[in-house]
């Protein structure tokens, strides 16, 4: 990838208006990788003006043409799969095998799905004497997080392009390099100038400027619930739609009679993936009281197999967290859990053995966790699992629904229909049944304070459309 000390605006790399820069460090070594421009409100304004100017032409383009450009974008990402994985490993610390299988392959699949959906989607329909048009909402401000940096970009950019919208992307400051790589691929795909624009910068500066810009028609944000609340409040005052994918504290409910060994191992793997930096991670494992001790032993043994190491080594299963600040946050929660009376059965707040450099956290499992504890209520965003006991299925349901979040979850049972019936009562947007696989065509998003709107598939495309009725 070419190093870019510039913004991608109106189809070209342009020098930033300000002179400030953001350092990008390798979380495994703490070494400086690169630096990118710290965008200003003036940079954001230039990008929004470019997107506004490009909107009429792109909105009027035939869906087949838009599909072809998205298909070219998908092919460009596939051609640079190894470079994408290497970049994410360097700036996020994700183990290389995980970076290849998830951070690279998933965005490629999502981009491909939107190339197909754009051709198939019904942008006009006849309802009685009315012709109903589904039109692009306009200029989109996309603000993306660092934990799945390319996936979250593609999950916003691809459906917005499919709908006929133009965009300004402000990626997370911790992982901007893969966003620059994405902008290169957009350019190589022949996207018209101004349809996609990239401004790197700090959230409180460039992100804030984009979120409140009067010429942005929709803000799509993935990140913390606290920031999402501020964006939602600003959008409400401007009577402007938002799509918010926020935090989670998902429950992994193991019903009586389920295959305990399989459910526990899968639950631990889910929490440890991406060093626990996943909004939908099943960070609360709920087990019936009569099988609780066995589950704790299984979880501790499973966590012990996740030995932190160099993410460039293909044998490494867990790397560092993204930054020193994130490590401090996670270890602070681990210390708080112990202080409140939970029992550490694996891990702890100290640095892992042999990982004195880099922002590593021990894979941690807590037993004797009660629903009111901080570690059972707040999103930690690290490799930390809390195991809670329940007395019966009604108690399990109460505990599972007993947080402000509702993003994801899992249910395990020897009877699939029993698991489905339980999942229907969960206040959450996505539930895996007996280890069901992730589906990039299914909607993803949350209930309660986990967000507003959906991403992926047809539901994700609909977020970027508005409806007009012609009465004939």
**Active site residue ranges:** 245, 279
- Dihedral pair phi/psi, residue 313, rounded to 5°: -80, 120
Strand pairing partners for 409?
251
Site of tokens 């799945």: 148
10 Å Cβ neighbour count for 294? 13
10 Å Cβ neighbour count for 1? 15
CA angle 311, 312, 318 (to 5 degrees): 20
Helix axes 177-188, 63-79, angle to 10 degrees: 130
Residue 350's Cβ-count burial label (10 Å; 0-12, 13-18, 19+) is exposed
Q: How far apart are CA 302 and CA 332, in angstroms?
A: 23
**Dihedral, CA of residue 91, residue 461, residue 279 and residue 318, to nearest 10:** -40
Site of tokens 């304070």: 449
Based on its alpha-carbon atoms, the radius of gyration of the chain, rounded to whole angstroms, reads 22
Residue 135's Cβ-count burial label (10 Å; 0-12, 13-18, 19+) is middle
- Dihedral pair phi/psi, residue 225, rounded to 5°: -65, -35
Q: How far apart are CA 288 and CA 292, in angstroms?
A: 6
- Dihedral pair phi/psi, residue 348, rounded to 5°: 150, 180
């Amino acid at each position: 990838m070419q190093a870019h000390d510039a913004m991608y605006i109106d189809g070209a790399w342009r020098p930033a208006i300000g002179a400030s820069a953001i350092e990008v460090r390798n979380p495994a070594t703490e070494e400086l990788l690169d630096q990118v421009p710290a965008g200003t409100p003036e940079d954001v304004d230039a990008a929004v003006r470019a997107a506004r100017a490009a909107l009429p032409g792109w909105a009027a383009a035939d869906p087949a043409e838009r599909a072809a450009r998205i298909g070219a974008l998908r092919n460009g990402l596939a051609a640079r799969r190894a470079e994408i994985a290497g970049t994410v490993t360097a700036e996020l610390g994700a183990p290389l095998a995980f970076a290849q299988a998830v951070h690279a392959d998933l965005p490629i699949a999502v981009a491909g799905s939107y190339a197909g959906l754009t051709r198939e989607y019904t942008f006009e329909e006849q309802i009685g004497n009315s012709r109903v048009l589904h039109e692009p909402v306009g200029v989109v401000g996309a603000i993306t997080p660092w934990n799945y940096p390319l996936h979250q970009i593609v999950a916003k950019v691809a459906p917005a392009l499919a709908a006929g919208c133009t965009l300004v992307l402000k990626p997370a400051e911790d992982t901007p390099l893969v966003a620059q790589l994405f902008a290169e691929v957009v350019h190589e795909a022949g996207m018209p100038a101004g349809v996609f624009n990239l401004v790197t910068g700090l959230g409180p500066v460039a992100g804030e400027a984009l979120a409140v810009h009067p010429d942005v028609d929709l803000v799509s944000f993935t990140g913390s619930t606290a920031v999402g609340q501020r964006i939602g409040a600003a959008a409400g005052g401007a009577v402007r739609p938002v799509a918010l994918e926020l935090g989670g504290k998902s429950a992994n409910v193991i019903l009586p009679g389920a295959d305990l060994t399989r459910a526990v191992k899968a639950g631990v793997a889910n929490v440890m993936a991406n060093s626990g930096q996943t909004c939908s991670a099943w960070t609360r494992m709920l087990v019936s009281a009569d099988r609780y001790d066995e589950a704790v032993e299984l979880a501790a043994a499973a966590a012990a197999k996740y030995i932190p190491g160099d993410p460039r080594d293909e044998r490494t299963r867990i790397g560092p967290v993204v930054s020193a600040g994130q490590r401090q946050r996670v270890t602070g929660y681990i210390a708080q859990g112990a202080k409140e009376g939970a029992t550490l059965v694996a891990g702890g707040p100290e640095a892992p053995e042999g990982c004195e450099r880099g922002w590593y956290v021990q894979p941690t499992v807590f037993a004797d966790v009660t629903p009111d504890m901080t570690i059972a209520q707040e999103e930690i965003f690290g490799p930390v699992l809390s195991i809670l006991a329940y007395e019966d299925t009604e108690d399990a349901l109460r505990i599972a629904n007993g947080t402000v979040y509702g993003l994801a979850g899992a249910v395990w049972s020897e009877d699939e229909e029993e698991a489905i019936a339980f999942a229907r009562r969960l206040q959450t947007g996505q539930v895996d049944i007996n280890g069901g696989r992730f589906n990039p065509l299914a909607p993803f998003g949350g209930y309660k304070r986990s967000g507003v709107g959906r991403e992926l598939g047809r539901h994700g495309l609909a977020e970027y459309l508005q409806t007009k009725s012609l009465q004939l």
